[in-house]
Every structure is written in structure tokens, then in C-alpha cells.
Amino acid sequence: MNVEEVQAVVNENGADYFPIKLVEEISEASERNNLTDDELKTLVLKVKEAYEREEVEPGESVGTIAAQSVGEPGTQMTMRTFHYAGVVELNVTLGLPRLIEVVDARKKISTPTMDIFFADDYKNDEEFIRKMGNKIGKITLNDVIKNFNVNYMDNIITAEIDQDILDERRLELSEVTAVIEKTFKQVKINNNLLSFETTFSKDEEKMQQGIRELRLLADKIRDLQISGVKGIGKVVIRHEHNEWVIHTEGSNIGAILKIDGVDIVKTTTNDIFEIEKVLGIEAARNAIIHELYTTMEEQGLSVDIRHIMLVADMMTSEGVVKSIGRHGISGEKSSVLARAAFEETGKHLLNASIRGETDKLTGIIENVIVGQPIPHGTGSVGVIMKDKN
């Protein structure tokens, strides 16, 4: 049976709230086992029963359970930064530091990286991928020159562009020289030879200052970026799962997605704020779930994804990514006592008393503090006695 026919059976049996993925799995099971209409109906009813049994009961403290479920395995996690999949050139933060980075919603993460995938027409074209790698990765003038010479007597800096390196890096000489001419007006270019003439004073008193300025110019020339996308440093090109992939140090997903040939669906970054800015808050929510889940999975820790989804929902529910802490969710609770119980107790109580705030005692923390039953579980149910009259 196809998905539409299965959906009709599901609707007939009052299970129209099933997610589409579950309906698709029922459809696949039906085709695989050649189920009759009656058998399909029985399967749907059994799945409905199991699905409803898995639902959270009213009054359940889902936040506390999620905190336990993520927090306890977190104590088993390593504190180290690993090399990226055995590649020496790139480092990536994993384990507990990465977990803290995500839930703290840090705007500047320690090791931003991207995995750049390519469309079907290009993913097996090694020459194209290597050309893209050199277009994306940072290349400075120092990487492509030889015979760099600073002449302090004549105040001239000379260098020679290595044509072999240009060919290896898939760069055109005209493109490189255009960047150099645009940045340094005093440069003279003769094929691969560069000559930078300066007008520093040869006066003995000012000679020392001239030498210093010449050295600074030499450093500026060496560090001139002639190719690459802003924010991206090294790139590593690898052949994985029958396709070529570029891993980068640094991230700029907005610029990368504009490049022709890049697979805009599979290309990812581990910078959540960049995802929020370019792709929106829903994409950022999915990125938080993915980062938390894979970080724990890499350490061999198993956490039900629904706990992680709850964390991601809380962090993104107001349309922006917020941290779980005093500067985010915990610090913005409506209850004064709940805020004071977390951090900066005196500050919260003082500010609340100055503003004359009222605490409605609707949450768990504030009711524990004042010694009342919490409004969860059996405490969330009120009993009313009906008068016989």
C-alpha cells in the first residue's frame, strides 16, 4: 500500500495525529509483509496504542528529567580537543567543552569548521574540487613567492612568484598580480618578478625609522591574501563515501552557499549563530539538536533525542538563540524567587524589591522555597467536593 492509502486507514482509526514519518514506516512494513486490509488495521491500532503509551503524562516534570538525562552523561565526557577525523591540519572541539559551548550559546566558538559538499555534477570531479578548495581556502602572497629580498640600502623589496606553486594551487598569474597592484600602488611587475620601491628617507637620523617601516611593509606584503573566502583559513580536501568533500578551518556559510556547484542542502557549519543569521531560527534549532546529539554520540553516550529537542526548543522558542544560564533562559524567568535561586541572589531580590515585583508562585522552584506542594504531578490536580444540595 502506498502512503496515501495507509494515511486513509490511519485517519479512519482516529490516529490522524501520527507524524508523516511514522505513516511512511507503516506503509513500508505493509508492502514488505504483504499485509491484508484487516492486518493493516490491526497494525495501525497496535501502533496507536504504543504511540499513546509513549506520550508524556500530564503534570510530568519534563524539564527536570531532560536536565538529568543530558547532565548525567555529561559527567562522563572527556575534556580534550581532538584532531578532526585523524587529520593533523584541523582541530575541532568535542566532548564537554563543545557541549558547554552550545548550551552557553557562545557567539565566538573556539574551532568553527565547515563541511562543504558539492552537487552531483561536481562531487567526483577532483580537479574542480581542488580548484574550489584553493578558491575557498586562505592563500597569502607568502605561500606563492620565492627569493623574497629586502634591500635596506636602496629601500627596495623584491620577490619572485613561483609559477609551479601557482599551477599547483590552480591560480592564474593575472589574478594574483591584479590583487597586488590594487593593494600596493608602488609595485612594479615584470612577468613573475615583483619590485616594491619605497620613498623612506635616507637621512641618518631617520634611517632607523625607515628600516622599521621597510620591515613592516615586508610583513604586509607577505601577509597579503590573494585568494580565499573571508573567515576561512586552512582547507582539507578528502574523498569520503564516494565523493569529494572540503573541510575548512573557520566558517562563512553565507558566502559558501553562493558559490556555484556547492550542495546547499548537505553543506554544514558548526557555528549555530551563523546558521541562525543565514538560514533562520528553525535551522538553528535543528543545528543545536544535531550538535548536542552527535557530540554525545561520539563519546559513546546515548541520550533520548526528545530531551535534547526540549533543550533546543527552550533555547530558540522566542525567535533568537538564547543560552541556558543567567544571561539567557534562567535569568529571564518571570518568578523572582526562581531567578534568585539560580545565581546572583542578592541582585535579583534587590532589583525586585526596588521595582515592587510580585511572584505568582506558579513554578516548581518558588514553591519549594516557600514550602508549598509543587504544581506538578499530583500537585497539579485540584480536588473539588460537590455539595449534595
304-335 pLDDT, tens digit per residue, is 899 999 999 999 998 899 988 778 887 778 88
pLDDT of 310 reads: 92
Alpha-carbon distance of 26 to 44, in angstroms, equals 8
The per-residue pLDDT for 311 is 92
Residue 194 clears pLDDT 60, i.e. is over it: yes
Name the band, by pLDDT with cuts 50, 70 and 90, for residue 203.
low
Name the helix (H) or strand (E) containing 245. strand 243-250
Question: What's the pLDDT band for 79 if we cut at 50, 70, 90?
Answer: low
* Predicted confidence (pLDDT) per residue in 63-72, tens digit: 889 989 988 8
Q: For residues 74 and 1, give the distance between their C-alpha atoms in angstroms, rounded to a whole number.
A: 44
Q: What is the pLDDT of residue 138?
A: 81
Q: What is the residue whose three cell numbers read 546547499? A: 264
Nearest to 131 by CA among 25, 259, 225, 42: 259
Q: What is the pLDDT of residue 233?
A: 82
CATH numbers and ranges of domains, the chain = 3-53 (no CATH), 62-110+270-332 (no CATH), 139-227 (no CATH), 334-341+354-380 (1.10.150.390)
pLDDT at 239: 84
pLDDT at 282 over 90: yes
Q: How confident is the model at residue 275 (pLDDT cuts 50, 70, 90)?
A: very high
What value does the mean pLDDT of the chain take?
A: 82
Full-model pTM: 0.76
Please tell me the predicted confidence (pLDDT) of residue 63.
Answer: 87
Taking 80 as the threshold, does the pLDDT of residue 297 lie above it?
yes
* pLDDT band at 75; cut points 50, 70, 90: confident
Question: Given phi > 0 = left and psi -120 to 50 = alpha, else beta, which region is 241?
Answer: left
Banded pLDDT at 201 (limits 50, 70, 90): low
Three-state SS at 32: helix
Q: Do 9 and 16 touch, CB atoms closer than 8 A?
A: no
Cα–Cα nearest to 329, from 345, 316, 341, 340: 316
> What's the pLDDT score for residue 313?
92
Q: Give the model confidence (pLDDT) of 46-63 as tens digits.
A: 898 998 888 888 888 888
pLDDT band at 363 (very low <50, low <70, confident <90, very high): confident
181 or 339, higher pLDDT: 339
Q: Residue 30 — very low, low, confident or very high, per pLDDT cuts 50/70/90?
A: confident
